[in-house]
């Protein structure tokens, strides 16, 4: 076996999830290692925000993020693990203080919750849970 190109494209978590779901629900039964890894990976992915995403809202969100001059990998991270606080944006974007103003960070956060409304819901639920306990 030869490796032609070890990294010809990056995939978002959503794309991987959809592909694996198709594999799992396919006609032919998966066997052995393939069954193990698809099951485990799906378990992980279905617990991440990508479970609520659709191709449409990802595309719209990416278009909206274009205005902020982020790199491709930074945008990919934003889609895979959408930040909900300014602190998380600081982690994902290198030298974010210089590249983005505070208003822009706020705008990005708003933009993400607007395109992925479930993020907000999850946050509220988490808060409610912490109040209950």
Partner 1 sequence: MFILSEMRNVTRIPPELFNLKLNDAIAGELNKKLANKVVLNVGLCIALYDIISLKESYIFPGDGASHTRVNFRYIVFRPMMEEILVGKIRSCSQEGVHVTLGFFDDILIPPSALQHPSAFNENEQAWVWEYDTADGSKHDLFMDSGETIRFRVTAENFNETCPTGPVTIQESQENIDAKVPYSLTASINEPGLGLLTWWDN
Give me the residues that bind partner 1 (CB under 8 A), please. Answer: 1-13, 15-16, 19-20, 23, 28, 30-34, 36-38, 40-41, 43-44, 48, 73, 77, 80-81, 85, 87-88, 90-92, 94, 126, 130
In the complex, least distance from residue 15 CB atom to partner 1, rounded to whole angstroms:
8
In the complex, least distance from residue 52 CB atom to partner 1, rounded to whole angstroms:
15
Using the minimum distance from each CB to partner 1, give the nearer residue, 44 or 106: 44
Using the minimum distance from each CB to partner 1, give the nearer residue, 11 or 67: 11
Angle at which helix 102-115 crosses helix 55-65, to 10 degrees, equals 170
Using the minimum distance from each CB to partner 1, give the nearer residue, 8 or 98: 8
Cβ atoms 99, 69 nearer than 8 A: yes
In the complex, least distance from residue 112 CB atom to partner 1, rounded to whole angstroms:
15
DSSP-assigned letters across all residues of 112-133:
HHHHSTHHHHHHHHHHHHHHH-
Cβ atoms 38, 24 nearer than 8 A: yes
In the complex, least distance from residue 5 CB atom to partner 1, rounded to whole angstroms:
4
Q: Which two tokens stand for residue 72?
A: 């491709």
Rounded to whole angstroms, the Cα distance separating 121 from 82 reads 13
């Amino acid at each position: 076996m030869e490796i032609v190109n070890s990294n010809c494209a990056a995939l978002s978590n959503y794309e991987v999830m959809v592909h694996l779901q198709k594999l799992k629900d396919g006609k032919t039964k998966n066997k052995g290692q393939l069954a193990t890894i698809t099951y485990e990976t799906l378990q992980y992915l279905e617990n991440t925000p990508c479970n609520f995403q659709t191709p449409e809202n990802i595309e719209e969100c990416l278009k909206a993020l274009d205005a902020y001059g982020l790199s491709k990998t930074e945008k990919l991270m934003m889609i895979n693990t959408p930040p909900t606080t300014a602190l998380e944006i600081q982690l994902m974007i290198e030298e974010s203080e210089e590249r983005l103003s505070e208003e822009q960070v706020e705008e990005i956060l708003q933009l993400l919750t607007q395109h992925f409304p479930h993020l907000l819901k999850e946050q509220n639920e988490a808060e409610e849970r912490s109040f209950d306990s």
